[in-house]
Chain A
Amino acid sequence: MDLTQVLEIASCTDPGMVRSHNEDSIAADAANGLVVLADGMGGYNAGEVASGMATTVIVTEMQQILANASPYQIDPRTNQEIARRLVREQVLKANTSIYQAAQSQPQYAGMGTTLVVALFYDNRVLVAHLGDSRLYLLRQNTLKQITRDHSLLQEQIDSGLITADQAKHAQHKNLVTRALGIDPSVEPEIHEYPARPGDLFLLCSDGLNDMVDDEDIAMTLQALGANLNLAAQQLVQMANDNGGRDNVSVILVRVLREYPGARGVMAKVFAWLK
């Protein structure tokens, strides 16, 4: 099912005010309802390589698979929808590629990347993430953080060592506890959420949420929601105006209308009409 008429997507990425390289990488495929954002890490340009590999591998592999399958298809072996397995497998594939490149080429040793992937299908969105890149949702003018960072800070908050307020000013914001390409195996966190018309999803690297408060992010999305490209640019600009100490990337996805997956007889008719 082609989602280009269902999803409005805008994105913006910027090296920020301090760094010379942009180690973030973003990709969007509106037709397949897939958006990917990765924030790479590692010396020299290894971070860019890792994040670039992550987005490329996941998008190209997913495109190939989705050309012949629908995410909500039932897998006869497990009796479950294939979406979750598909996304997980592509994430693992990207992990293996990055890990092997890091192992085989000394200049890439230790590289890795955070990741957030969102796949829209059948009035839903499937979200997989690793590390501290985030997904937010603006629904009825309230902004909610959907993903929970895999970071030392988040673990400290969860264990009650510090409060969320203290965390804003804490150190070690940069320490993530899960990432792609660091170890031979990895387990992405995957969840599924309903997506409704009017919902505005924001994927961002920590360069945004470290520099711009959630309140300001919400205000920007509310005020400039009519013009997604402008909203994306404005978010990046605000991060840069506040210091822009890290690469900043944002992807905005708005659901314009319902997009139920075609099933049963109708699906066969559509497939035949194609």
Chain B
Amino acid sequence: MAKLILSMDGLVLKEIPLTKERTTIGRKPHNDIQIDNLAVSGEHAVIVTILNDSFLEDLGSTNGTVVNGNPIKKHFLQNNDVIELGKYKLKFVGEAAPAAAADKADFEKTMVLRPSAMKAAADQAKAMGGGAQAAVAQRAAASQQVASAAAAAGVADKDITKTTPPAPKPAGQPLGAIQLLSGANAGKELELTKPLTTLGKPGVQVAVLTRRPQGYFITHVEGANRPMVNGQQIGPAPHALKDHDVIELAGVKMEFFLKA
């Protein structure tokens, strides 16, 4: 269960498990966590806990609520977040703490298991099995980006083939798309939801658009000529695409743009 550790000047005063759905924090005695200090408002903040997730909300306090040095109105509490109320500090220790540590541990250096050590580790693995669930949530985001088959979109003469169901986009990254400006399919739009989208005619000229955390890139794959971006032939290295760049590939012009 998640808990808060109340401390002042580095001295731990008490531990408060978050058992209730709403845990109120304030100066007045009816609060679940009462902090008798003038810097703390009567009803200062509340922590709403739903299943394993805890949210901190400032209740319009006079001096505000600060988490990890940043003033907040609403905040999704994460393991080891420090809530500051005047001189007091509340450290949030999430339930997922051991799992988060384990998630790191599973990428520890590769080690060999000797038969003698094997049994102990197997037992440990079984005992820690529960931690896997929290790791699931973290990784789910990554695996959701997985688009299914690589449908090469032939732009020249053929239709844009097989539109795969759009994968949920990674948070904070705008979705890119291309719109054909010339050729038989002029006006058609293709959303770049997959990590990789190939464009062009195999055997003639092919380029790949890669979706990365830093944005979209175009890279030459095959063909004698490299694709043009804004009238300039790109180099052999991946070329970062900017909003409204015009790409020319296998005789077809298309515009790259970012969707809001």
**Do residues B110 and A242 form an inter-chain contact, with CB atoms below 8 A?**
no
Give the contacts of A155-190 with B (CB-CB under 8 A).
156, 161-162, 166, 168-179, 182-183
User: A172 to B146, Cβ gap below 8 A?
Assistant: no
Q: What is the total number of residues of chain A having a CB less than 8 Å from a CB of chain B?
A: 48
CB distance from A244 to the nearest CB of B (A): 10
Interface residue from B107, B146, B210 paired with A234 (Cβ < 8 Å): B210
Please, how many residues of chain B have a CB less than 8 angstroms from a CB on the other chain? Answer: 47
> Shortest Cβ distance from B98 into chain A, in angstroms?
10
Interface-located stretch among B28-36, B39-47, B128-136: B128-136
Q: Which of A131, A169, A218, A219 contacts B194 (CB 8 A)?
A: A219
State the majority secondary structure of interface residues on B.
Answer: mixed
User: Complex: how many Å from CA A102 to CA B208?
Assistant: 46
Q: A166-B132, A219-B195, A226-B222 are in contact. Are A173 and B122 (CB under 8 A)?
A: no
B195's partner among A41, A132, A216, A222 (CB-CB below 8 A) is A216
What is the total of A-B residue contacts with beta carbons within 8 Å? 122
Q: Most chain-A CB neighbours within 10 Å: which of B109, B146, B198, B221?
A: B109
* Bound-complex Cα distance A78 to B180 (A): 65
B131–A171 CB distance below 8 A: yes
Q: Does A112 contact B (CB under 8 A)?
A: yes
| Contact flags A1-37 to B (C-beta < 8 A → 1, else 0) | 0000000000000000010000000000000000000
Interchain CB contact under 8 A, A41 and B198: no
Asked if B206 lies at the interface with its beta carbon under 8 angstroms from chain A, I say: yes
Which B residues touch A131, using CB under 8 A?
A: 110, 112
CB distance from B126 to the nearest CB of A (A): 7
B1 contacts the other chain (Cβ, under 8 Å)? Answer: no
CB distance from B168 to the nearest CB of A (A): 15
A224 within 8 A of B: yes
Question: Can you list 15 A-B pairs, Cβ within 8 angstroms, ordered by A?
Answer: A156-B125, A171-B103, A171-B132, A177-B112, A178-B112, A179-B112, A182-B112, A182-B114, A206-B110, A210-B107, A213-B143, A219-B196, A223-B198, A223-B221, A224-B208
| List of 8 A-B pairs having minimum Cβ-Cβ separation, nearest first | A219-B150, A226-B222, A245-B107, A223-B150, A171-B106, A179-B112, A222-B150, A41-B110
Interface contacts beyond A41-B110, A179-B112, A223-B197: sample of 12 additional A-B pairs, CB < 8 Å, sorted by A: A152-B121, A171-B105, A176-B112, A177-B113, A182-B112, A206-B110, A210-B107, A219-B149, A224-B221, A226-B202, A234-B196, A234-B219
Which residues of B line the A interface, CB within 8 A?
102-103, 105-114, 118, 121-122, 125-126, 128-129, 131-133, 135-136, 139, 142-143, 146-150, 152, 194-198, 202, 206, 208, 210, 212-213, 219, 221-222
Question: Which A residues fall within an 8 A CB radius of B?
Answer: 18, 39, 41, 47, 112, 114, 131-132, 152, 156, 161-162, 166, 168-179, 182-183, 206, 210, 213, 215-216, 218-220, 222-224, 226-227, 230, 234, 237-238, 241-242, 245-246
